[in-house]
Structure 1
Amino acid sequence: MIDLKGSCHCGDISFEFSSQAPVPFMRCYCSICRKTSGGGGYTINIIGLTSTLTVTQGADKLKSYRAIKDKSQPVDKQVLCQKRFFCPNCASYLWAHSEEWEQWIYPYASAIDTPLKVPPATTSIMLGSAPEWTDPRKLPRKVVDNEMFEEYPEYSLEMWHKDHGELV
Structure 2
Amino acid sequence: MHLEGSCHCRAVTFSVESAHPVPYMRCYCSVCRKTGGGGGYAINLGATHNSLSLQGKENIRVYQAMIEDPQTGKTSKSPAERSFCGLCGTALWVWDSRWPELLHPFASAIDSDLPAAPSHNHIMLEFKASWVPLERAENDACFDAYPDESLADWHERMGLAAQVDN
TM score, norm. by length of structure 2:
0.91
Partner of 1:160: 154
**Equivalence map 1:11-160=2 (5 Å):** 11-55=10-54, 57-70=55-68, 73=73, 78-136=76-134, 142-160=136-154
Rounded Cα–Cα distance in structure 1 between residues aligned with 2:69 and 2:123? 20
CA contact 2:61–2:86 (8 Å) conserved in 1: yes
Query: Percent identity, aligned pairs only?
Result: 38
CA contact 2:26–2:43 (8 Å) conserved in 1: yes
Q: Partner amino acid for 2:155?
A: H
Q: Partner amino acid for 1:8?
A: C
Q: Partner amino acid for 2:25?
A: M
Please report how far the alpha carbon of residue 135 of structure 1 lies from its aligned counterpart in structure 2 after TM superposition. 4.4
C-alpha deviations, 1:113-157, integer Å up to 9, x for none? 000011011110000000122141xxxx64232100000001111
Residue 51 of structure 1 aligns to a residue whose secondary structure is helix
Rounded Cα–Cα distance in structure 1 between residues aligned with 2:33 and 2:69? 15
Rounded Cα–Cα distance in structure 2 between residues aligned with 1:46 and 1:82? 15
Distance 1:71 1:63, change over 3 A: farther
Q: Partner amino acid for 1:43?
A: A
CA contact 1:68–1:81 (8 Å) conserved in 2: no
Structure 1, gaps ≥5 residues long: none
Range with bigger deviation, 79-88 or 33-42: 79-88
CA contact 1:64–1:83 (8 Å) conserved in 2: yes
Please report how far the alpha carbon of residue 71 of structure 1 lies from its aligned counterpart in structure 2 after TM superposition. 8.0
Partner of 1:7: 6
* Runs of at least 4 residues off by over 3 Å: 71-74
Rounded Cα–Cα distance in structure 2 between residues aligned with 1:64 and 1:143? 34
RMSD (CA atoms): 1.6
Rounded Cα–Cα distance in structure 2 between residues aligned with 1:91 and 1:127? 25
Rounded Cα–Cα distance in structure 2 between residues aligned with 1:100 and 1:147? 26
Query: How many equivalent pairs are there?
Result: 160
